[in-house]
Structure 1
């Protein structure tokens, strides 16, 4: 019993001790909490009766007070003062800001940023000051803002990056001057150009890397990297290159082609890029069934079927479909079928890899063109832009025609940017076409040198203006001098005579020629006005009138071994100056314009000049040329064949040497000018033998050539070729004196074989020819090497 009582007492004593200990612990914890807790005082408020600004020189007190946003007598807190501080600092006008409450006064102490005295660039050689001034915001007599200066430094670095110098560094420096002024200096380290060292493709099986690189605007770094700037990485150009690749493949039937990605890897030295295009070519498709349908009763389907130039089995190309639609809609306009649109409906046949195309003529919405607004042209007249549109105010609206007009405006080359958009007009059934352009320089002044194996070294100077007086006219003046030829030319072209699609122009020239390969000198003055217009999509006609005076002289120095009494050249030279007045035409057909095959084409030209009464020589001069070209082995090898000929029919057989044909290296390789064809062998007064080239009244030439890669890096721009020329030049008026011999006056074939080297350079594509005559006559004059500026057919 007593143990039990004693145990309960013990438990009561323990509970009392535990409660006492707990109370003491809670008291200590509460005391500690009060000691450690922050001193929560009531937020302080201010009321100012005056506003004092110190340290300002340029900026008025009232302006700073307005920036602070605190009115006299207003009750504000410490947070409000901090907000006022931030607002004043955010203006970018002050280097330091301090707000000090002093009783009933609020003191604002500021240090103003200096005024920019001058903005300078140091270390820039590749980009001139005027280029950099256009990209920076900081200007003289404005307040210096460090944030703006930093943005300017970034903008300058970006300009260098666009020029391929991604390692460029720009540091803004501030040089303090008196009266709170400062010079802002951008110290520039330009670095070297980060070139595209290698441009490659992944996923291409049909076309080689070399072939695809030819289609891109971006190029690999080559031998002439100091002059060629297409070897730098420009993001905008990459996007354009992707579109060029798509156009290239789709025009050859690869409708599923796509660029899956473009990788640009920077070399460790940061001086070169390795650019890779990842592509998926897909399968090649051809045209399947081609049909024309319409539910419109007024539409004669057969009439529109006749406009089709697409044939089943041909390689599919979206461009051919677009051309077919354009022809049909043009025919609809001619048939007075307004608002008729052509919708292509394409059915894919994966089994035979063909695409059926159904052209559906449907009724389009009745929408009219309310007006055409043109903005941004300060020099170019409105009518130059407006004539690119085939529609006018009040005509039915055709979106396709507007897109084609936009392309014609861009093709002018007068504008750096041109945007053409259509928006709703004053009513839902009318649209306004907005044309927004930005002009660019269209004139050029050039000086340079030339070299030709025919005429030697020379100097050239030229002026050209493609948008003369903002009228879209072309004016050019060119002067070329060399030891053998001095040439002066003036030309002018009005592309839209009387507002029509007719070009009116003239060429005026004066030439002194004194070739070392002949004994005569010619001084020629020529005036040639002309009219040119299109006959169809692929054909054109040019009509011209030509008046020329030719003064022919043969040296008559005493003792000159070339003096030949009674020779044909001397007889013709004795006639002195002759004038010629003729009318003529040139017809041209070019299948490459909208042709079915992007890798092949045919060019055919024929022309005649007829000299009539009033001319010293009455004759008909006829020429013709046909060129066929195709690319094989997936476009790596180009094959080209040319047939050319000419004939002169003169009344009374009265031609002179300058009237007759003389085949130069552009017509027949391997011979000097006047080096082949009819020749007169005569004896000079001192007994020496004289060999005169006379030219010919007739010629016929066939040229066959192939161009192919040489295995050199594509960035060098060098390719090779082989050629074979065969032809003849014959026919001369005049009879040699007794004792002289007239040779090769009949059809006598010459044949030449050779190799060519083509080099793409900044001054133009050069062509080097090494040739050997395998069939020639004894007195012909060979030319084993020739250098010319390459021309495309």
Structure 2
């Protein structure tokens, strides 16, 4: 650095004009300089800066006397501009001569040798920039900033050497040569004074981790001095939440290892003794608040282990209760009394009306993409309103529920007026565009690929656009949706949907369908936590059953589905070169060739009732009630949804569909959250002759019922091959899934610790899914069908019976779901074990899905 400073002075001197006579002795200069009147001011040595600009900084002008104080102050003012590397003021007769050496202008700022930190990250930290002034002091400051940045990233051995390259026109290229050095890790974390908890237990509670080879994805094992204070606070919280009210960290020391590659961190702690909660009281000076009622709100029980977090929880509960009673300004003060003899802590919560405070201003900070009005319309408070903690917390949750921000923080700051406060809503934008795909594997090796692109915050206006295409072995979907959350600038959302679907469930349900349609929808709130939506959908459905010719007799009874090719011997097994499907002309006397779904065939498949093209005109509504404590990751409360659809106001299809869903959440301990979801639905035909078409029925499985394949449970056609001579069942085959007119399901889930470091972003949950599907109409079940009586029809002379099983019996599965917030996007794995099933259900044991955001 000394070489750089010396070189800088030489460079700036070489770039500027030679400053002759700069080193005059102070006494001689004073005798020659002072006395008389300034006739003119002459500026010399300036190349880029105009003379009148230099003169504007002086405190003297022509006509003024040669005042030594004002000239000295002018000299200091010119140096303070940072425009000049050197300045001298001399007298030439009656002229005041200002000789300057200009500081160069920075042409480019170049970083060399940096790999761990990108150029953009370093440029954010330094002051030097193209077209800026080059000064040694500023460069030195930037060097310190860069080194501090490397220290925060765990590289304490980093070195930064500034260089420059002179250019024409008094310009330079500023070069920072970086030697990053190795990452300075944490070789060990030790604790002194801990008797109750082991070192390993305490290490799990702090953010800083010991450097280990498996933590290559994490930076928490890099030494960062700023984290030490945070870790001290984490230790204090841990001990106080386990009863140790007197706990304190007496010292936290970080020592560099002899090889200067890592740090030893040592915490010295004083655990103190463990306490229980003693007598808990509530006192209030507010008339409308009954202390006995407030006592019931307190979650602390006498005799429980003392937990510091319970005090804050109680304050929040009492504040909320006072707010419900109409007291927006309440002051809750816990008065703590420690009894060392009994080992208990008595607490009295004193409530009093606090000073009235009003909101002077609400600032939205950090919204680089989202418009201010999109955020403000979610707030329950505005400028001039009385400050209300409950409404402020509700506003924060509403902004978080938008899903546009990674973090939402509410910060209050005092105003110049004592009864006013300023509220800052600080948001951190996150990607609201999403490109997602999902893949799955089932017990029948079906593939699934789902691709969708969506933007939930179009142009920062809160509008949602979704373009989804899904490709699988069973269906192809194109779905376009647009939602305006504030239609006509009112608290009313509106949306338009256009969709086209091609489903091929022939292998599993025996039908294919093509759907094309569109719809409109609107929703409006009843309260902050209740919402009602209405919708209308018009669509065309074309359901098809695979064509298959058969021969029937004059009574409409089955004769055969294959005929022998002329000239071929009759084999024991069916082969394509011996048998073929019947064609017109193959029928015998009194017989006819028809399609398997022809109405003339009396024993046709029950799903043939659905083979037609219909127009569906559907109007519906839904009701949603949310009482959870958090819109994204709830740990307490419930939500409920009820919806109905009526088809039949115009169109060809007539039914009423009802569905309901309720979810309950309860935090148990730390990251353990139990949840229960109950859902059910029923569809009732309004035309008994028409029934419910198979494409309108409920199907469960796959992502809707883990452990079962798509359409894997519920009513199904069964085919048995029987020896007509003995009546013995040779084989049982699972055929088409028919769906159901009603279902019920319960899902129970418990997030559990998996002892994997938190920085890996891997979480897990145990689940149990129970429920069933069924309740088909009799006309949709059909009756037992005997396809043949032993004639050679491709079954080796055996008889074939086909019938429908519809048992609304309980199914159950259990397993574990693993969630990984990977660098490529969130990934989910489901591992399932079937607990209860019917022998005709289709199952799967593994499924995964993933998505990525842009």
Global fold match (TM > 0.5): yes
160 and 370 in structure 1: CA distance in 2 versus 1, 3 angstrom threshold: closer
Cα shift at 1:448: 5.1
Q: How far did 1:147 drift? A: 1.9
Change (3 A) 1:612 1:434: same
CA distance in 1 between partners of 2:243 and 2:516 (Å): 52
Look up the SS of the partner of 1:729 in the other structure. strand
Alpha-carbon shift at residue 745 of structure 1 (Å)? 0.9
Q: Deviations over 1:501-547 (max 9, x none)?
A: xx7354736353446644434536464635364868xx645444353
Q: Deviations over 1:323-360 (max 9, x none)?
A: 33333443443xxx7x8635445454644745444453
Correspondent of 1:180 among 152, 166, 170: 170
Aligned to 1:692: 736
Deviations 1:277-323, CA, capped at 9 Å, x for gaps = 77759746558445454364xx3638965994647457862343333
Q: Does 1:445 align with 2:433?
A: yes
Q: Which residue of 2 aligns with 1:520?
A: 511
Cα distance in 2 for residues equivalent to 1:214 and 1:550: 59
What residue in structure 2 maps to residue 475 of structure 1?
464
- Counterpart CA distance in 1 for 2:375 and 2:188 is 43
Where 1:781 maps in the other structure, the secondary structure is coil
Alpha carbons 2:218, 2:759 under 8 Å: kept:
no
Shift of 1:95: 4.0
Residue 365 (structure 2) pairs with residue 380 (structure 1): no
Q: C-alpha displacement at 1:783, in angstroms?
A: 0.8
* 2:772 equivalent among 723, 728, 750: 728
Q: Quote the Cα distance in structure 2 between the aligned partners of 1:571 and 1:149.
A: 83
Tell me: CA distance 1:531–1:104, structure 2 relative to 1, closer, same or farther (3 Å). closer
Q: 1:656 aligns with which of 693, 716, 728?
A: 693
Question: Which of 781, 799, 823 pairs up with 1:762?
Answer: 823
In structure 2, what is the equivalent of residue 556 of structure 1?
Answer: 546
User: What is the alpha-carbon distance in structure 1 between the residues aligned to residue 392 and residue 627 of structure 2?
Assistant: 26
**Retained in 1: the 8 A contact 2:277–2:345?**
yes
Report the aligned-residue RMSD: 5.4
Q: For 1:481, what is the secondary structure of its paired residue?
A: strand
Q: 1:441 to 1:626 in 2, by over 3 A?
A: closer
Looking at structure 2, the residues matched to 263 and 251 of structure 1 have their Cα atoms a distance apart, in angstroms, of 24
1:464 matches 2:501: no
| Aligned match for 1:423, one of 415, 419, 440 | 415
Aligned equivalent of 2:106, options 84, 107, 116: 116
Normalising by structure 1, what TM-score?
A: 0.72
Aligned mates of 1:208, 1:505 — CA distance in 2: 58
Q: For residue 605 of structure 2, what is the aligned residue in structure 1?
A: 567
Matched, 1:143 2:181: no
Task: Work out the CA distance in 1 between the residues paired with 2:826 and 2:96.
Answer: 77
Describe the superposition over 1:227-251 as per-residue Cα deviations: whole angstroms up to 9, x where unpaired. 7667766677776777777778778
CA distance in 2, matches of 1:621, 1:206: 57
**Offset of 1:103 from its aligned partner?**
9.5
Q: Is the 8 A contact 2:624 2:639 kept in 1?
A: no
Residue 623 of structure 1: which of 643, 655, 660 is its match?
A: 660
1:494 aligns with 2:485: yes
8 Å CA contact retained: 1:449, 1:457: no
Residue 673 (structure 1) aligned to one of 710, 717, 733: 710
Deviation, structure 1 residue 482: 3.0
Once the two structures are superposed, residues 138-187 of structure 1 have per-residue CA deviations (whole angstroms, 9 ceiling, x without a partner) of: 23334321222232333344445555555554333211122322222333
Q: Give the whole-Å Cα distance in 2 for the aligned partners of 1:239 and 1:409.
A: 33
Q: Does residue 314 of structure 2 align to residue 321 of structure 1?
A: yes
The match for 2:807 among 740, 746, 750 is 746
Q: What does residue 621 of structure 2 align with?
A: 583
What runs of 5+ residues in structure 2 fail to find an aligned partner?
A: 1-24, 551-560, 562-580, 582-594, 598-603, 722-730, 787-800
Is 2:540–2:613's contact at 8 Å kept on the other side of the alignment?
no
Give, in angstroms, the shift of residue 676 of structure 1. 1.6
For residues 548 and 105 of structure 2, the distance between their equivalents in structure 1, rounded to whole angstroms, comes to 82
1:47 aligns with 2:32: yes
Whole-angstrom distance in 2 between the partners of 1:417 and 1:636: 21
- Do the aligned partners of 1:533 and 1:540 also contact (CA within 8 Å) in 2? yes
Partner SS for 1:390: coil
CA separation of 1:386 and 1:671: change in aligned 2, threshold 3 A: closer
Match of 2:537 in 1: 547
Q: Helix, strand or coil for the counterpart of 2:125?
A: coil
Paired position in structure 2 for 1:8: none
C-alpha distance in 2, partners of 1:548/1:241? 59
Judge conservation of contact 1:325–1:342 (CA < 8 Å) in 2.
Answer: no
How many positions carry a matched residue from both structures?
Answer: 721
Aligned counterparts of 2:616 and 2:289: Cα–Cα separation in 1: 60
Q: 1:26-68, CA deviations, whole angstroms, 9 ceiling, x for partnerless residues?
A: xxxxxxxxxxxxxxx9965512378876543234567667879
Q: Residue 46 of structure 1: SS of its match in structure 2?
A: helix
- Identify unmatched segments of 5+ residues in structure 1: 1-40
Tell me whether 1:609 sits opposite 2:652 in the alignment: no
Range 250-259 or range 766-775, more displaced = 250-259
CA gap of 1:52–1:567, structure 2 versus 1, over 3 A, is: same
> Secondary structure at the residue paired with 2:609?
helix
Q: Is 400-409 or 762-771 further displaced after alignment?
A: 400-409
TM-score (normalised: structure 2): 0.67
Shift of the 613–191 alpha-carbon distance from structure 1 to 2, 3 Å rule, reads farther
- Give the SS at the match of 1:153: helix
Distance 2:768 2:649 in 1: 43
Residue aligned with 2:708, SS = coil
Equivalent residues of 2:683, 2:697 under 8 A apart: yes
More deviation, 379-388/478-487 = 379-388
